[in-house]
Amino acid sequence: MELNTLQHISIAELCRRLRRRYGRVEFPAPLPVLDELVATILSQNTTDANSGAAFERLSQRFPTWDGVRRARVAAIAAAIRPAGLQQQKAARIKRILQTLHARRGELSLEFLRSLPAAEALAYLRAFPGVGPKTAACVLLFACRQRVLPVDTHVHRLSLRLGLVPPRTSAANAHELLAQLVPARHVLEFHVLLIRHGRQVCHARSPRCPTCPLLDACPDGLRRLPYERSAP
């Protein structure tokens, strides 16, 4: 039997299968754009629960972003300790606030909502320590721009499914997937692949026999001594 590959299955079908497993995806209530940027930085290399706790502690300790901008890095780090890597994240947040204040004389990014996606991405990427994934998350969740963030789960699954060539970097995957994923599927593609990566397609020991995408996954089929028919 000739095996399917994901190139023969539409992104719509991919999302449909994962939606059946994990449910529909809706936008969360949007945060102010600067809040989303800081929250995304806090979310790096930690759980949602930890980053949420860190953001709450930061907001309680410093009621305004200007207070964070003026604070010592050590004080910011103490507030965001639950997020981990607190020294690195605190220094990055402070530098971003200092840079924004120097550029615009205020601590707000609400103007990004009215910019074209490419221009808004470029503005965010110019901040120290803001990469393509962080910038895309801000535009997708705060500004509702259909820009696809490629986090570690999306990157890993895209490689395994053959959506991007082998050894494609996360940075290059942003460009390739932006061309592949239709705008109407950007949100659910991002969220559903993260859910699937956390629950089934683990970095180590993926649970391939339970995967609804197995028939479309070259990597999964290589891992198993048998083929499974399409769901």
Q: What share of the chain is helix, strand, coil (3-state, %, to 5)?
A: 65, 0, 35
Query: 133, 153, 160, 174: which is the annotated catalytic residue?
Result: 133
Gap between the Cα atoms of 183 and 12, Å rounded: 11
* Whole-number Å distance between alpha carbons of 160 and 201: 9
Which helix (DSSP H) or strand (DSSP E) does residue 205 occupy?
A: none
Q: Let me know if 133 is a catalytic residue.
A: yes
φ, ψ of residue 129 to 5 degrees: the values are 85, 5
Q: What is the C-alpha separation between 74 and 92, in angstroms, rounded? A: 12
Instruction: Write the CA distances from 49 to 6, 32, 46, 55, 138, integer angstroms.
Output: 33, 20, 8, 10, 19
Task: Cite the active site residues.
Answer: 133
